[in-house]
Structure 1
Amino acid sequence: MDTPYVRIDAGVLARNIDRMAAATRERGLALRPHAKTHKIPRIAQMQLDAGAVGLTVATIGEAEVFVAHGATDVFTAYPLWLTPDRAARLERLARSARVSFGVDSVEGAAHAARTLGAAAPRLEVLVEVDSGHHRSGAAPEDAASVAEAARAGGLRVAGVFTFPGHSYAPGAPEQAAIQEREALRTAAAGLEAAGFTVERRSGGSTPSVLATAADGATEVRPGVYVFGDAQQLALGRCDPDDIALAHRRRDRRQPARRSGWRDAPRPRRGQQGARQRPARLGPGLRAHRGAARGGHRGAVGAPRDGVMARR
């Protein structure tokens, strides 16, 4: 096979999918994996077959692809600001699938309802709250106001969600899970006091999912777990043997990067091993800044695969 190419180990992939499905089931949590990690309908079907209740996506375009390949429940886990075109696309999706999306402000919720018009009752929204990542989301105590704006416009409010993205920092997953729990509980209590039935309290990231409490969340949305990467290894959330995605190349003169990992040549004769090789890397895929802090300088796994990860 010509190189370079990306290789997925089907056995490791299946094991990762089954392991997460079992872990969430044991914790009483519904699994709604984030499919933006792979964007591959076949892998999404493997996750659904293993027990996932639906899929999480990042864009309407991703939702369209997965619904076209048979998905029946998709959640766009981001506060959407709707245009007439986006509203029409959501309305078409809702004809063949359960479709939900995020809102995180009174203005955004009211605008979504107005733009959807008569189609609004066919779609569900979840109110996003900020649990410490500070990327998007309303304050948990303000969630009810956002929900009321959505309801006033005819949208069905299904619950609340958050993204504990700060769980990707070293030593942070457990604390992020605690903050997630409190944010979801506070937001849900506010909605219930305003007369809403909170069906879904959605949270969870790959680093924090095993610390997610069922009394805070009802469903979790990990994504990276299907492939694994150097960041999850550094956080202790996977082992080298759990890495399912690899970049292969036969040109041994120039290392390359992939998915937060690095591929390097085999050690030359006389070298003590790839662990002694400096990380001299050209342009390529970059890891998350938090994972890259401190560099990626230790080889993990068989040198023949050249899989590199942070020490």
Structure 2
Amino acid sequence: MATNQQKFTTQKQDTQPGKEHAMNPTPQFTSPDYKPANKLLGKIALVTGGDSGIGRAVCNLFALEGATVVFTFVKGHEEKDAKDTLAMIKRAKTADAKDPLAIPADLGFDEDCKIVVAEVIKAYGRIDILVNNAAEQYECGSVEEIDEPRLERVFRTNIFSYFFLTRHALKHMKEGSSIINTTSVNAYKGHPTLIDYTSTKGAIVAFTRALSLQLVSKGIRVNGVAPGPIWTPLIPASFKEEKIAEFGSDVPMKRAGQPIEVAPSFVFLASNQCSSYITGQVLHPNGGTVVNA
């Protein structure tokens, strides 16, 4: 993993979701330094947006820790990344885990989320860990540029899907289960050109806190992770080319993070061995940006 300032090759992807296999360099989703310890042995985990970026790294570590992993991807856009991730999970999974599953879905709509959960239950019978992670973002120079269709699209993907998946998954979750929501450092410090995206990430923080209070009596923990600048397909798919080279250089560590540097936070929050006394909280792998909220 990088430990000092780096510059990325200028690049641009014209559509979202972005494609990991087209990035240069490709994001780091694993590390030989990571030592699994059966933290998630026997668990069934559903990870949205698990084909690439942070989601892929989370799927990999969950598999190494003994979980049976299911992830979603966007049909028609992410087939190659999904195929690569599925093969990676199969290699990483432990002997006790069942074969992984990749499900294509547009999670911005309730019926699609209901179908995803139904497929997981048909295959494995329950859900122990739900990671709400799928997201999209678009730059804008002014709030006046954000029209109603775009606003609705970003909110559907980034926060509606969290509500929809949670409401359907909860029917199949029991005491000891865990829900982890991916928010962003932007929810705490703001971002001048990602207003709609930042707004959804703030909503995720509030959703996490409120849901944790509702579910604490059921023994289900709800937490979040708020990454800083991380090298994922979202970056070349949403930022202008000139911003790519300096991406992440404005944080105290002077570099962007890699997905493998974020994924252990999800393992920690998913594992009752590690975080049984933590709910309603957010972890901040963000390169040193201090947030007070």
Shorter-chain TM-score tier? 0.3 to 0.5
Structure with bigger gyration radius: 1
User: Of the two structures, which has the highest relative contact order with CA contacts closer than 8 Å and spacing of 6 or more?
Assistant: 2
TM-score, scaled relative to structure 2: 0.38
Q: Going by fraction, where is strand more abundant, 1 or 2?
A: 1
TM-score, scaled relative to structure 1: 0.37
